Amino acid sequence: MKLRPLLLALPLLASPGLAFAEIDVTLDHGSVWQTKKVNVRTEGFIQIHNKGNAVDVLTGANCSIAGSTELVGADGKDLDSLTIQPGQTLTLSADGPHLLMRHLSYTVDYGSILPCSFTFQEAGDLLGYLNATPAPAKK
């Protein structure tokens, strides 16, 4: 008698109509503006792909070279998170949302590679790499 509720639930668990969330978030190599001084700030950029079938949310990033790493919009204002729909690519770019790294402990030398950890609600922490390139000339 005690097994009956379990036996009724088994067909539901095995049902092909039930879809499980597939979490598959990947990061391309990104870029970061080089710096010539410490204790300054710089910006970082990367493409993030959601190849899974579930929504995921980028909730933060941490680049160890910086005292703080923040997600900001094109206007420079802080963002709490960025949503990535299934099958979509989120591009962190100079003219859109991007990373703002403040209070750098070291210079970011041309050609160096900066590791950063990206935190997602579903995928957890993923490691991404930003290649140092010259910053564009200021107008």
The CA distance from 29 to 97, in Å, is 17
The string of pLDDT tens digits covering residues 27-71 is 999 999 999 999 999 999 999 999 999 999 999 999 999 999 999
CATH of 19-133, one of 3.40.228.10, 1.10.357.10, 2.60.40.1890, 3.40.190.10: 2.60.40.1890
User: 11, exposed or middle or buried, with CB in 10 Å at 0-12, 13-18, 19+?
Assistant: exposed
Q: Domain spans of the chain?
A: 19-133
Residue 48 backbone zone (phi > 0: left; psi -120 to 50: alpha; other: beta):
beta
User: 28, exposed or middle or buried, with CB in 10 Å at 0-12, 13-18, 19+?
Assistant: middle
* Encoded amino acid at 138, one letter: K
Prediction pTM value: 0.83
Percent of the chain with pLDDT over 90: 81
